[in-house]
Structure 1
Amino acid sequence: MEKSLRRSRWRLLTENRDLSLFLSASLVSQTGDWILDTGMAFQVYLLTHSTLASAAVMLATQIPQVVLGSVAGVIVDRHDRRRMMIGTNVISALVIWPVALVQDSGSVWIILVVAAVTNCVSPFFSSAEASLLPGLARRPENFVTVNALHAQVRNVARLIGAALGGILITVGGLTALAVADTASFLVAAVLVVAIRHRLASTPTRRTGLLAEWRAGLAIVRHNRVLLVLAAFFLLRGVGEGAMGTLFAPFVNDVLGAGGSVYGAILAAQAIGGIVGGLVITLAGRRASPRRLFAWGTLAFGILDLALFLYPLIDASSWPAVLLIAVVGVPGAALNAGMLTLFQSTTGDLTRGRVFGLLVSAENATMLLSTLLAGTLAGSVGIIPVISTQGVVYVLTSVIALTVLSRRRRSGGVLVSEPV
């Protein structure tokens, strides 16, 4: 049986042409995103020496996600996901170019506009991507493996893109970044063009954006699993906002380390995610998505708390590198479990609007947390505020272990199981 599972997994990863194209497109596009994001963040601070300017870039990326996330999901449900991914890649390639015109602090506003426009497009791509992937997995029993593999691709892109972004901004400035990101979007678009998969079903009669948005909200309200995922997205936004705002100050002010240690920690995080994704990929069909999500979230939260609280005893930097690498395993588990639960409890025709609602909610709490984190850290300290991330993951695990603890059938379909 074990040999059969390995053979089946090998066929899934090597003989599924559409899945290979999808993952390749994701790798190329996200590597370009990391190149641009890393280089732009560095260049904005270099030109302005202003943390406010850096915060403005973050807001320019988050606000469009909050405003358009839900709407994008509804629109994606109305159209072919593959064409939506192609179109958003091409549009993104076209709007990147103005960043090459930035020469000094007086033209940094161009970066803000580009960041805002690209993030207006981003929700349409992410909803289409999330909606298309389950069909490429072919069977529900493949969801965990495919989701873990997709997460590995994201971490590889992060590792490569962040390193290249730093190099390119040093060697060729913002022009080099624009060229690299444009090329990544166009290559990704070509790869998606080659995908043959189409939805077997067709969209139902359109009832208006607001009515369809409400229908998506009703789907979430009446599904126990999706309600748990909604709580997870909301709480994760709080933690990610605090983490994104305060992690660099944590490394610099709490650990007393410099940029090299900061880079090592980020690299360790990506490597840990790759290793974790490999572990979950090998587990494949044997892994219960509910257990992966609930217990992975608990382990992630505990390790997160250890990462942010250990400097109270010893401010050495090496434990941070180790802990953030180890947290990659439960991180991969919870993400694979979470995505599989989402895919298994939503249909092809409504998956986009549900995903858009979840992501929009997460970005809203992330935006609020980003705005509050800096102020609160100044009054109560960095460690208590950044530890919020670990606390919300532990809280989410308690919710998941409690709510998903019984079997429940809806229309003959099992939507919950013991965890």
Structure 2
Amino acid sequence: MFEALRIRDFRLLWFARLVSLFGSWLLVVAIPAHVLQLTGSLAATGLTLAAEFLPPVLLGPVAGVLADRWDRRKLMIATDVLRAVAVALLLLARDPGDVWLVYLALVAESVGTVLFRPAAQAHTPAVVGTGPKLISANSLNAITDGTVRLVGAPLGGALFAVAGFSALVWIDIATYLLSTLAITMTASAATKSEGRPGRFFAQLREGAAFLHTERDTARLLVVMTVFLAANASLSALLVPFGVRVLGGSLQIGLVMSALGVGFLIGAPLARRLDRMRSENLLGGALVATGVAFVLLFVSRSLTGALPAAVLIGVFGSAALVTAQTAVQRRTPNDVLGRVSAVQFTGEAVATCLGAIAGPAIAQVASLEAAAYLACGVTVLCGLVAAPHPVVRSTKTAHDRGCRSHGKVSRE
């Protein structure tokens, strides 16, 4: 089912992703809980989220240039070491006056993640190729992400109560070091662009020029950014909806679990539907996601909400995997780091804005009005993502160009 696992280097990269992500999610609940224990301040606790969101917004384009400029394997190793050191700073935060160390650690860890993600996304096609194994790799990564998110946060909360904050920090440090070791064991062939030193801003402009020329890829990134903003808005409304309509925190917890189950189903589904045109699959998945959100917000009990949540997870996951694979296949590898960084920066900005906009609109109008507006935006994204005549010719020309210049890596 997951052909990419037959490739040794990908197995090592997948293991590195699994352990480092698991360690990070163990701290998702523990860090804000620790800050709340230290300070007793909700504002100080909320700043932990701001500290993590700031670097992706500010450093995204820079990270993309570095991912294309430097050896990506070495960059991933260096950023894992950076993140291990950053997390270790959390061990020094023991009093209310030390809370600034928590923010410093979170910013430093986030900087490492901002540098790691575009390098990893650009490195994957170089390892598995751009054929069927690429969507196999992306589907497996999506399943891994969904499983870790489903298990990591509640397990971290339980361990925080039983073993304490320091134990979780040491586990996270260990996972980053294990990730470093796994990536070090991969093949040492350089994976970087051929740009000369001193051309940083020129390379930044080259990435922008590529997106200006390849309008279909740019349109795909815009569509997914808008979708993620709408999705963040809907996610922010789920908790008040669950409390007011479904009956309380237990019910919304079950809805969240149903979303996770759907997410795990959707990733392999996208892999099985890879023979379809990506525009058809993406457009259909986004429209179905919007409709499933409508079904959720019209529900008045778990009987309707749980199946709707599963459908949201299925189609939303399929859309994300399809979009990521399409970007990787359409983009030459020597600019893929920069394009991936644009994608991740848009994701961070969209998530921030959507999480703010949804509750704000609900406050002014109503929760239902805000939810249906975001659902409509999601459906519109699906319609915009639908095939256009220019998509076929552009994609075909790009594929011919990749083959003629030898840019498609080994299968």
Which of 333, 352, 366 pairs up with 1:381?
Answer: 366
Which of 355, 362, 366 pairs up with 1:370?
Answer: 355
Q: What corresponds to 1:334 in structure 2?
A: 319
Query: Is the 8 Å Cα contact of residues 237 and 362 (structure 1) preserved in structure 2?
Result: yes
Residue by residue, what CA displacement relative to the aligned partner does 1:24-64 show, whole Å, maximum 9, x if unpaired?
Answer: 11111111111111322344456556553443222211121
Matches within 5 A, 1:271-310: 271-281=261-271, 283=272, 285-307=274-296, 309-310=297-298
The whole-number CA distance in structure 2 between the counterparts of 1:130 and 1:233 is: 16
Cα distance change on mapping 1:387 and 1:74 into 2, 3 Å: farther
Query: What is the one-letter code of the residue matched to 1:78?
Result: R
Which of 329, 333, 342 pairs up with 1:344?
Answer: 329
Query: What is the one-letter code of the residue matched to 1:310?
Result: V
Cα distance change on mapping 1:15 and 1:347 into 2, 3 Å: same
- Seq. identity, %: 25
1:224 aligned to 2:212?
Answer: no
Residue by residue, what CA displacement relative to the aligned partner does 1:244-285 show, whole Å, maximum 9, x if unpaired?
Answer: 544333323343312x3343333322222112223333x165
Query: What is the one-letter code of the residue matched to 2:254?
Result: A
Which of 54, 57, 61 pairs up with 1:66?
Answer: 57
DSSP-derived class of the 2:292 partner: helix
Q: What corresponds to 1:5 in structure 2?
A: none
The whole-number CA distance in structure 2 between the counterparts of 1:201 and 1:102 is: 38
Which of 389, 392, 409 pairs up with 2:377?
Answer: 392
Long gaps (5+) in structure 2: 401-411
Query: What is the one-letter code of the residue matched to 2:383?
Result: V
Deviation at 1:333, TM superposition (A): 1.8
The whole-number CA distance in structure 2 between the counterparts of 1:266 and 1:45 is: 24
Q: What corresponds to 1:39 in structure 2?
A: 30
The whole-number CA distance in structure 2 between the counterparts of 1:111 and 1:378 is: 32
TM-score (norm 2): 0.88
Which 10-residue stretch deviates more, 240-249 or 206-215? 240-249
The whole-number CA distance in structure 1 between the counterparts of 2:165 and 2:150 is: 20
Query: Is the 8 Å Cα contact of residues 296 and 330 (structure 1) preserved in structure 2?
Result: yes
Cα distance change on mapping 1:287 and 1:121 into 2, 3 Å: same
Query: What is the one-letter code of the residue matched to 1:117?
Result: A
Query: What is the one-letter code of the residue matched to 1:327?
Result: I
Query: Is the 8 Å Cα contact of residues 330 and 399 (structure 2) preserved in structure 1?
Result: no
The whole-number CA distance in structure 2 between the counterparts of 1:172 and 1:333 is: 37
Query: Is the 8 Å Cα contact of residues 70 and 357 (structure 1) preserved in structure 2?
Result: yes
Deviation at 1:349, TM superposition (A): 1.1
Residue by residue, what CA displacement relative to the aligned partner does 1:121-147 show, whole Å, maximum 9, x if unpaired?
Answer: 211011111111112223423322221
Q: What corresponds to 1:4 in structure 2?
A: none
Which 10-residue stretch deviates more, 159-168 or 361-370? 361-370
The whole-number CA distance in structure 2 between the counterparts of 1:121 and 1:17 is: 25
Matches within 5 A, 1:2-401: 12-45=3-36, 51-103=42-94, 107-196=98-187, 198-199=189-190, 202-206=193-197, 208-258=199-249, 260-281=250-271, 283=272, 285-307=274-296, 309-311=297-299, 314=300, 316-401=301-386
Which 10-residue stretch deviates more, 378-387 or 114-123? 378-387
Deviation at 1:288, TM superposition (A): 3.2
The whole-number CA distance in structure 2 between the counterparts of 1:408 and 1:116 is: 43
Query: Is the 8 Å Cα contact of residues 39 and 96 (structure 2) preserved in structure 1?
Result: yes
Cα distance change on mapping 1:148 and 1:186 into 2, 3 Å: same
TM-score (norm 1): 0.86
Query: What is the one-letter code of the residue matched to 2:284?
Result: W
The whole-number CA distance in structure 1 between the counterparts of 2:306 and 2:294 is: 14
Query: What is the one-letter code of the residue matched to 1:92?
Result: R
DSSP-derived class of the 1:203 partner: coil
Cα distance change on mapping 1:92 and 1:404 into 2, 3 Å: farther
Query: Is the 8 Å Cα contact of residues 228 and 351 (structure 2) preserved in structure 1?
Result: yes
The whole-number CA distance in structure 2 between the counterparts of 1:406 and 1:217 is: 19
Deviation at 1:414, TM superposition (A): 4.9
Deviation at 1:68, TM superposition (A): 0.4
DSSP-derived class of the 2:298 partner: helix
Which 10-residue stretch deviates more, 224-233 or 105-114? 105-114
DSSP-derived class of the 2:242 partner: helix
**C-alpha RMSD over aligned residues:** 2.6
The whole-number CA distance in structure 1 between the counterparts of 2:389 and 2:398 is: 15
Deviation at 1:399, TM superposition (A): 0.8
The whole-number CA distance in structure 1 between the counterparts of 2:96 and 2:224 is: 36
Query: Is the 8 Å Cα contact of residues 216 and 391 (structure 2) preserved in structure 1?
Result: no
Which 10-residue stretch deviates more, 322-331 or 45-54? 45-54
Which 10-residue stretch deviates more, 382-391 or 153-162? 382-391
Aligned residue pairs total: 400
Long gaps (5+) in structure 1: 1-8
Residue by residue, what CA displacement relative to the aligned partner does 1:141-171 show, whole Å, maximum 9, x if unpaired?
Answer: 3322221121111112212212321112111
Which 10-residue stretch deviates more, 141-150 or 107-116? 107-116
The whole-number CA distance in structure 1 between the counterparts of 2:73 and 2:246 is: 45
Deviation at 1:208, TM superposition (A): 2.7
Residue by residue, what CA displacement relative to the aligned partner does 1:333-387 show, whole Å, maximum 9, x if unpaired?
Answer: 2122101210111111110011111221232233333344444332223333344
